Amino acid sequence: MFHKEGHKIIFITLVIIVTAIMIVDYFVQLAWLRTSLMLLCIVFLILILQFFRNPKRNTVSNDNHALSPVDGKVVVIEEVMENEVFKEKRIQVSVFMSPLNVHVTRYPIGGTITYSKYHPGKFLVAWHPKSSEENERTTVVVENNTFGKVLYRQIAGAMARRIVNYAKQNNTTTQGADSGFIKFGSRVDLFLPLDAEIKVKLNQKVKGGESIIAELS
């Protein structure tokens, strides 16, 4: 199953690959070179298909849990000052996505979307300390009566040149539902209440919509 954000790109890529294979087959005489070029075309197509895959996730809804919004590796766990919305200290947990990860963004908690804003910006590498504040990004806050307010931020990286955000202010959503997509590698930051119990460790691999990032008693 492929994400709807990839349908157009997959179709265009397929047309280009088929055309390229036909040209190679017609004009390239050396058998080893012809085979190599065809294999490169097929590998490129496979990479595009892999990037836009949208596997089904078994989300276990729990208002006491904040789930990972994306697939990737935990690269930051620290107490920071969140200056855009809360204007107070929060626990930041950041998940870095490589181009090989699933790039669907999912709601970490269910509830009401109280804030959703796009920010134009730079395209620093996603692990740069200032990428959370200076890169192109979207900020979304979801609130429910159990966990309170959770902010997540989609951040563009050096390769990610388009962020798709479906969150609309005042809409209600369910935990683990599709909230957007980041094209070609980046990271997502979660900002959690200080009394949240963090359930992940640095460098741990997580799955969007399934891995528990934090819990509130």
Active site residues: 186
Helices in 52-175 by DSSP H: which ranges? 131-134
Residue type, 71: D
Tokens of 114: 């109280």
Question: Is 143 exposed, middle or buried (CB count within 10 Å of its CB: 0-12, 13-18, 19+)?
Answer: middle
Report the alpha-carbon distance of residue 180 to residue 158 in Å, rounded. 19
Question: Residue 169's Cα: distance from chain center in Å?
Answer: 20
Report the alpha-carbon distance of residue 95 to residue 26 in Å, rounded. 46
Report the alpha-carbon distance of residue 201 to residue 171 in Å, rounded. 32
Strands 172-173 and 162-165 come out as unpaired
Torsional sign, CA 8, 14, 17, 22: negative
Which residues are bridge partners to 187 per DSSP?
96, 155
Which residues are bridge partners to 79 per DSSP?
91
